[in-house]
Structures are given as C-alpha cells and as structure tokens.
Amino acid sequence: QVHLVESGGGLVQAGGSLRLSCVASGHIFSDYAMGWFRQAPGKEKEPEFVAGIRWSLGTTYYADSVKGRFTISRDAAKTTMYLQMNSLKPEDTAVYYCNGVSGDHPLGSWGQGTQVTVSS
C-alpha cells in the first residue's frame, strides 16, 4: 500500500502562486494514475477532483476550474508529485489532497492534506 504525504500549502494573496508536493512511500505501478483533489471549507462532500497524471507516460488532465492555471507533474524517480498553482483565486481556498485516481474518482484513503488559503 502506498502512503501519501502532502505539503506546500499556505496563505497567499489572490493572483499569487504556490507549489504543492505529494511524496509517496511505496511503489507506484507504471499503469497507475495519481491526482490532486480539494475540499473547500464547509463542504461536506468528498473532495473534488483537480488534476490527474498518468504515472508512466506523464500525460495530464484537469478540472475545467483550474485548466490553464494549475500544472500537475511528477518526478517518478522520487515518487513525488507536484501541483503548481498560479493565478490563485479565493475560490481555490481548500484543503488539498493527493490520491490514486481512476478518471476523476479517488482511490484509497485520504491523508492529512495541506491547507491552501487565498485572500482577496
């Protein structure tokens, strides 16, 4: 089983940038996909899909709400995944999680996440 730890969140003004990291301990199979999800404050639903990356090929896909502003990437050798977030908006405020992903559906359990707060 892969254990995931997120980091890199913080407080930033609207228009600013942050880079999140997700370190995986354990083997990520080459046909696996990983992704970022987020849960906004007061939202009781499951975290929403943000971005995904197919681990072996590095191909990426995004939710419409972040397309053109966020970039997902990975360093396969380090089993680390990143989310570069630019042009941040207050509505991006959320706890961000990484997880395995099938399409835009999460796989596995949730970690602690990392808080991103965007002030207006």
Cα gap 59→78, rounded to integer Å? 18
Q: Can you give the pLDDT at residue 41?
A: 87
pLDDT at 3 over 90: no
Distance, in Å, from the CA atom of 75 to the CA atom of 79, rounded to the nearest integer, reads: 6
The pLDDT tens digits of the residues spanning 12-38 come to 999 999 999 999 887 766 678 999 999
Tokens of 7: 């980091």
pLDDT at 31: 72
**Could you tell me if 44 and 22 are in contact, meaning their C-beta atoms sit under 8 angstroms apart?**
no
Interval 65-104: pLDDT, tens: 999 999 999 998 888 999 999 999 999 999 999 999 999 9
Supply the DSSP symbol for 76. Answer: G
Q: Which are the contacts of 57, defined by CB distance < 8 A and separation ≥ 6?
A: none
Q: Residue 30's pLDDT is what?
A: 66
